[in-house]
A and B are shown apart, each in its own frame.
Chain A
């Protein structure tokens, strides 16, 4: 059962406008949330994260919002640039078996920024 869901497989946005990518999760025990960006034929790269004790984290053009009551997070990119075109994965982290954290990933949203 998918614990982290990204319901929009794709999104197209005009350059300079805001991109909003959404993610929902089911497990209230997750304590950390992350966004990754992936270009074709490359591994995902870490973009931004947020702890469950916060509701917003900002890094340059990227802001992540967390709504714990709705079990929902979103990534805002402002302004969007053509180089932002990639697949974005949402992930949630929780304590797994043993001493390590486990990471649960969504299915990804393919963002296209149109020049």
Chain B
């Protein structure tokens, strides 16, 4: 079974802080994704990566950046956290047609 792990389940940060969300997958998948889930808005793609050091903007990249230095690791960075970035963040990986999600990080920015 594919395992996608995220560094924290719950996180509370202050406005203006730099926030790092880490994600690791153990199945040698090429593709990795960061989504955020908000009520009524579903899952929205922030960034994705289809190879090491490659990254592509998703639908809502503003205020975020990513890093993929190793195949198994994909990090999401909030350069200066704001209250509108309070959300559930979901990392995922895929090989072809199925995307596998991590448990999510509930981030609260106060």
In the complex, which residues of chain B have a beta carbon less than 8 angstroms from the beta carbon of A89? 42-43
B54 at interface, CB cutoff 8 A: yes
B96 at interface, CB cutoff 8 A: yes
Query: Are B101 and A43 neighbours in the complex by a CB distance under 8 Å?
Result: yes
Query: Are A99 and B51 neighbours in the complex by a CB distance under 8 Å?
Result: yes
Query: Are A97 and B56 neighbours in the complex by a CB distance under 8 Å?
Result: yes
In the complex, per-residue mask of A20-47: 1 if CB is within 8 Å of any chain B CB, else 0: 0000000000001010101001111110
Query: Are A98 and B56 neighbours in the complex by a CB distance under 8 Å?
Result: yes
**Complex Cα gap A36–B92 (Å):** 13
B68-110: which residues lie under 8 A (CB-CB) from chain A?
Answer: 90, 92, 94, 96-104, 106
In the complex, which residues of chain A have a beta carbon less than 8 angstroms from the beta carbon of B96? 101
Interface size on A, residues (CB 8 A): 29
**Complex Cα gap A9–B6 (Å):** 28
**Complex Cα gap A32–B30 (Å):** 18
List 10 extra interface pairs beyond A43-B102, A100-B94, CB under 8 A. A42-B104, A43-B90, A43-B103, A46-B99, A51-B97, A91-B99, A96-B50, A98-B50, A103-B33, A107-B42
Please list the residues of chain B having a beta carbon within 8 angstroms of any beta carbon in chain A: 4, 9, 30-31, 33, 35, 37, 40-45, 48, 50-51, 54, 56, 90, 92, 94, 96-104, 106
